[in-house]
Structure 1
Amino acid sequence: MRSPPRLITLILLTGLSTVSLNMFVPALPAIAAELGTSYATVSLAIAGYLAVTAVAQVVMGPLADRFGRRPVMLGALALYVLASAGVALAGNVGGFLGWRMPMAAITAGWVVTLAVVRDTAAPGRAAAIMSTITGAMALAPLIGPLLGGVVAQVLGWRAIFGLYAALGTALLLLCWHDFGETRQAAPREPLWHSARRLLGDRGFWAFASCTALSTGCFYGYIAGFPAISEARFGLGEAATGVALGAITGGFMAGAFLSARWAERLGLTRMMLAGRICAVTGLAGGLLWALAIGPLSATGVVASVLFIGLGNGLTMPSANAGATAAVEGLAGSASGLLGALTVAVGAVVTAGIGALVAASPTPVALLSALLALAIGALWAAWAAHRQG
């Protein structure tokens, strides 16, 4: 089967990859209570899952280059369905966590999608397609927890994992009929030679660093704002949730613009435009706080909206550039790119969380985010110079 998957199939795969992380989060207290363990222990279903996801991406990328996109995607979906059913039937916390970790196989939905888009489109067109995919999948972090909360309240937490299994089964059947092989030819060189070529390519690292640091800005805001919201602004949970969701709105607007401009303007110009946008918004908010007076919650959110807008402009092009950096290694590149992004996100989340715990002020948060945004701008400039 050689016909490439349709765009809607790729969107659904990336969407399931996203909601698999967060849809069950509202049910964590109920899970801990039923399984007779602590909240901290069941929270490993998030932190441990992210760690396994990073490793899985590094492995799945080269497998997709070696054996093809279709078998890796179908195998990953089958494992995901089995693991989801295992979690739904788990009788203790060991079974819960033991089956939860293999659910990370669904990360193939993102890794293989990047490779497929690179296989079937030139870099500029690939960036436009990725803008459409990422713009649509940005809804997943908003819808996932809401849906999970409703399902858990009505049917219980096990129904969430039953729903994961059902969705995975539906996508497995869809991909069986609509996921043709797009890899042109298997690499002839040994796997470690391919890895060495990728790891030694400066262009790949410039594009990948831009993606990772740009995503780090997003994670940093998510990790840092709730502490400031409570300590400085006295916002409730609902208002804090709205403030956190605002960055997603900015991202969707940026992705919408990127889908229309990326092919015409080129990858690195789009990346630079997005990074300048993010730096300008954060620098403006920080200068206001330092020179004029304390920022309100609205002022902080207004500054951070520029992160979302900038990421929407930048990341589709940066992703397309990273997967196109070394010919024939799109799968390996997408896997390493995903793992690097997760790793940087974990470090940034921990670092900014500790920073705002010690100094819960808008100045501390915006300063840290601005440093990350400047790093991403530098990486975008490096990619532009090499291109």
Structure 2
Amino acid sequence: MKPVWVLMCAIAVVGANSLVLSPIAADVALDFVEKSAPDVMLASAVYGGSTAVSALFLAPRADQMGLKRALIVALVILVIALFISALAPSLDVLTFAQGLAGIGAGLALPATYGLAADVSPKGQESATLGKVLTGWTLSLVAGVSFAAVLADLLHWRAVFGLMAALSAGLSVLIWKMQVPQRAAVQAVSPFKAFRVPGLLPILLAVVCFMSAFYGLYAYLGAHLTTILGFSTGMAGLGALTYGVGFGMVAPLDRLIDRFGATRAAPVVFGALLLVYLLMAVCAGQGLAIFGVCLFWGAVNHMGLNILVGQMSALSPSQRGAILGLYSATTYVAMFVGTAAFRPVFETQGFAVASVLSAACVAPALISALWTLRRSGHAVVSAAE
């Protein structure tokens, strides 16, 4: 198996675990006395928080350990955490296991991205990384959707058992993988990247973008099953259509290169705000939600492309530290969004939670418009 496909599968397993609880939350809750789907989603929030901490404090050590060894260690941690999840006798144990899984994920992601560059043919680093990143689409289209069906046919515990087995198999494949040797380097703290000009506004946009996504996605499955009465397998279609939308819009990424991220950002964030408002309108209309999920995935793909591209371009010499902050910020937003949206979903419903997501995106849209205006003024001043 080619190294690039192994690394893509590693991303897919990490991505699937981060998103799998939403469509199966109602089934998981049935196994625990007096627990509800929102209670189960607390485990997802803990996973996000744990991943953020790991990305800050463990990921910078990956270069010191060696990226290959770091990824194997991360996958072994995931194997243990996922088997504990599969056997969890209580929700507290499941939550602990997901926290442990977050430690592995926070180490796995930067190690995987770094290995993608190591195994890439010279001059094809971006193309190789692009293939590895499709693991996120694979996690949604195949992983999460199949997990929902598997939970319907067998049991939700089989989902975590299967992911644990896949993680174990991947650790063996990575152990056998030939990777060029790199000289050991000194770990650099991501906190030093805060001094890079222009970083904080983009991090604000990341917080807005990710809180809006994870906060609403966390309760999509519960809304489809407990409120609209869909089966767990049907609830998985939400993740499936989102993933299809996320993947099918990839050819349009070249438009961002053509017009520039600064000009594209207001359009994309404005479209995303409208998508969340449309989700609120369609919240009670059953199958219409799946159609909105398709557009949701497409617009989110463009938004992620803009954010990661802008952060990567800020300071090439500090790219690793900057992307470490990006990963940490993403999972802090996952933790905060999942936790903060819970009382809104429980008391006001999914439609109001969708409006809250639109409100979360609004600051990112305003910041993008302000940046565009500043860049326009700069061009005029230069011309004068």
Taking structure 2 as the reference length, what is the TM-score of the superposition?
0.71
- Cα deviation 1:54-76 (Å, max 9, x = unaligned): 21221232112333322211111
Residue among 315, 325, 331 paired with 1:342: 331
Distance of 1:207 and 1:333 partners within structure 2 = 11
Report if the CA contact (8 A) 1:115-1:330 is conserved: no
**What percentage of aligned pairs have identical amino acids?**
22
Answering whether residue 193 of structure 2 is matched by residue 198 of structure 1, we say yes
Give me the CA root mean square deviation: 4.7
Report if the CA contact (8 A) 2:190-2:324 is conserved: no
Residue 270 (structure 2) aligns with = 279
Distance of 1:30 and 1:269 partners within structure 2 = 45
Q: For structure 1, which segment, 65-74 or 28-37, has the greater mean C-alpha deviation from structure 2 after superposition? A: 28-37
Residue 166 (structure 2) aligns with = 167
Give the gaps of 5 or more residues in structure 1. none
Change (3 A) 1:168 1:368: same
1:217 to partner: Cα distance: 4.0
Distance of 1:280 and 1:117 partners within structure 2 = 32
Report if the CA contact (8 A) 1:85-1:161 is conserved: yes
Residue 67 (structure 2) aligns with = 69
**Letter aligned with residue 213 of structure 2:** F
Residue 222 (structure 1) aligns with = 217
Q: For structure 1, which segment, 340-349 or 325-334, has the greater mean C-alpha deviation from structure 2 after superposition? A: 325-334
Counterpart mapping for 1:119-130 below 5 A: 130=129
Residue 81 (structure 1) aligns with = 79
- Cα deviation 1:153-176 (Å, max 9, x = unaligned): 554444333212210111101111
Counterpart mapping for 1:1-387 below 5 A: 6-23=3-20, 28=25, 31=28, 34=31, 38-39=35-36, 42-91=40-89, 95-104=93-102, 105-117=104-116, 130-178=129-177, 180=179, 186-187=185-186, 191=188, 194-219=189-214, 221-222=216-217, 237=230, 246-258=241-253, 265=257, 269-270=260-261, 272-273=263-264, 275-280=266-271, 282=273, 307-316=296-305, 318-323=307-312, 325-327=314-316, 329-349=318-338, 358=348, 360=351, 364=355, 367-368=358-359, 370-375=361-366, 377-378=368-369, 381=372
Change (3 A) 1:364 1:341: same
Report if the CA contact (8 A) 1:24-1:148 is conserved: no
- Cα deviation 1:309-332 (Å, max 9, x = unaligned): 333234235325535644555444
Give the gaps of 5 or more residues in structure 2. 379-384
Taking structure 1 as the reference length, what is the TM-score of the superposition?
0.71
Change (3 A) 1:110 1:303: same
1:200 to partner: Cα distance: 1.4
Report if the CA contact (8 A) 1:60-1:335 is conserved: no
1:88 to partner: Cα distance: 3.6
1:345 to partner: Cα distance: 3.6
1:45 to partner: Cα distance: 2.8
- Cα deviation 1:22-53 (Å, max 9, x = unaligned): 43555555655556563466544322222212
**Letter aligned with residue 54 of structure 1:** A
Report if the CA contact (8 A) 1:81-1:168 is conserved: yes
Distance of 1:75 and 1:348 partners within structure 2 = 29
Distance of 2:74 and 2:357 partners within structure 1 = 39
1:140 to partner: Cα distance: 1.8
**Letter aligned with residue 269 of structure 1:** G
Report if the CA contact (8 A) 1:84-1:100 is conserved: yes
- Cα deviation 1:202-235 (Å, max 9, x = unaligned): 24445444444333443355368789999xxx96
Distance of 1:23 and 1:236 partners within structure 2 = 19
Distance of 2:181 and 2:297 partners within structure 1 = 32
1:12 to partner: Cα distance: 0.7
Report if the CA contact (8 A) 1:220-1:349 is conserved: yes
Change (3 A) 1:337 1:285: closer
Distance of 1:125 and 1:71 partners within structure 2 = 24
The number of aligned residues is: 366
**Letter aligned with residue 257 of structure 1:** L
Report if the CA contact (8 A) 1:281-1:304 is conserved: no
Change (3 A) 1:223 1:35: closer
Distance of 1:330 and 1:362 partners within structure 2 = 34
1:244 to partner: Cα distance: 6.8
Distance of 2:365 and 2:169 partners within structure 1 = 42
Report if the CA contact (8 A) 1:275-1:311 is conserved: no
